[in-house]
Amino acid sequence: HKIFSMLNYNIISNFLDICYSTCAVPLILDSFLTHWRTISFSACFGQMFLSFAMGATECVLLGMMAFDRYVAICKPLRYPVVMSKPAYVPMAAGSWAAAIINSVVQTSQAMQLPFCGDNVINHFTCEILAVLKLACADISINVISMVVANMIFLAIPVLFIFVSYVFILATILRIPSAEGRKKAFSTCSAHLTVVVVFYGTILFLYGKPKTKDPLEADKQDLSDKLVSLFNPIIYSLRNKDVKAALKNLVAQKHFN
């Protein structure tokens, strides 16, 4: 049960990372090769919708995966019951549904704004804050909506992850043997690495003062998308359960 649940969460997370990157990276590479840096109104908001949906789902899913690790380490005997298929499937589906609803709200509010002027943004992608600056109307409602969404999809999952790992660390430190502590820590090492990379990138890009240099802004936006491409590699290299499950799957197919 443990391997199956973790494998499913990792597959969903890897799929999200790939979708989040591919909704923008192809256009970024195309602009490098062809120097064509124009995007239609509908394509811009389509890209914005996908970025919002994938990013919010990733945040919620990372919080759920922290709970998965908490149950696996702190309540191992209850893991097959707590993280059974009837439990984690609605959790994963709920994260998708909530993120898509939020994305619809944010994108539709932005689309209703009137835009004027040159409509030029210093980004390869349609980053919502840059797009809102082009609006010829009051954007206070949009800003309030984004703050509320950030509290729900960013702050709450971060707090949930932090509390989960406080209990996980306390449990690991109570394990008498060094081998047992090492095995317990390896269970959550891949997830913890992705959490640090994912949220560390967000803090680096949006926590520091904004630059007015278009090239620097493009580099920041590109690095945000490229980092997500490395998350599947991190899971594959650090998660022994995933590698063991894949080896068993290959062995079974070869035997058959």
Output the domain CATH number for residue 172: 1.20.1070.10
| Residue 162 pLDDT > 90 | yes
pLDDT given for residue 1 in this prediction: 43
Domain count, the chain: 1
Is-above-0.85 flag for pTM?
A: no
How far apart are alpha carbons 228 and 14 in whole angstroms?
A: 9
Beta strands in the chain (DSSP E): none
Task: Say if 256 falls within a structural domain.
Answer: no
Task: Say if 252 falls within a structural domain.
Answer: no
How far apart are alpha carbons 131 and 151 in whole angstroms?
A: 21
Of the two residues 7 and 17, the one the predictor is more confident about is: 17
* 13 and 194 Cβ atoms separated by less than 8 Å: yes
| Residue 253 pLDDT > 70 | no
How far apart are alpha carbons 220 and 209 in whole angstroms?
A: 12
Of the two residues 29 and 226, the one the predictor is more confident about is: 29
Task: Say if 79 falls within a structural domain.
Answer: yes
Task: Say if 255 falls within a structural domain.
Answer: no
| Residue 45 pLDDT > 60 | yes
The b/e string for 219-231 (b: 16+ C-beta within 10 A; e otherwise) is ebbbebbebbeeb
Of the two residues 212 and 129, the one the predictor is more confident about is: 129
pLDDT given for residue 3 in this prediction: 44
| Residue 163 pLDDT > 70 | yes
pLDDT given for residue 24 in this prediction: 67
Task: Say if 51 falls within a structural domain.
Answer: yes
pLDDT digits (tens, 9 = 90+) for 205-229: 665 555 555 444 555 555 555 555 5
| Residue 104 pLDDT > 50 | yes
* Banded model confidence at residue 16, pLDDT cuts 50, 70, 90: low
pLDDT given for residue 166 in this prediction: 94
Please state, in angstroms and as integers, the Cα–Cα distance from residue 44 to each residue in 12, 127, 143, 227, 244, following that order.
26, 9, 19, 21, 41
Task: Say if 190 falls within a structural domain.
Answer: yes
H or E element that contains 233: helix 214-238
* 201 and 223 Cβ atoms separated by less than 8 Å: yes
* 23 and 61 Cβ atoms separated by less than 8 Å: no
Task: Say if 208 falls within a structural domain.
Answer: yes
How far apart are alpha carbons 85 and 106 in whole angstroms?
A: 32
* Banded model confidence at residue 54, pLDDT cuts 50, 70, 90: confident
pLDDT digits (tens, 9 = 90+) for 180-196: 888 888 778 777 877 88
Instruction: Pick the most confident of 20-29, 122-131, 152-161.
Output: 152-161
pLDDT given for residue 2 in this prediction: 45
Mean pLDDT of 3-18: 56
How far apart are alpha carbons 69 and 213 in whole angstroms?
A: 42
Task: Say if 102 falls within a structural domain.
Answer: yes
Range of the domain at 190: 2-243
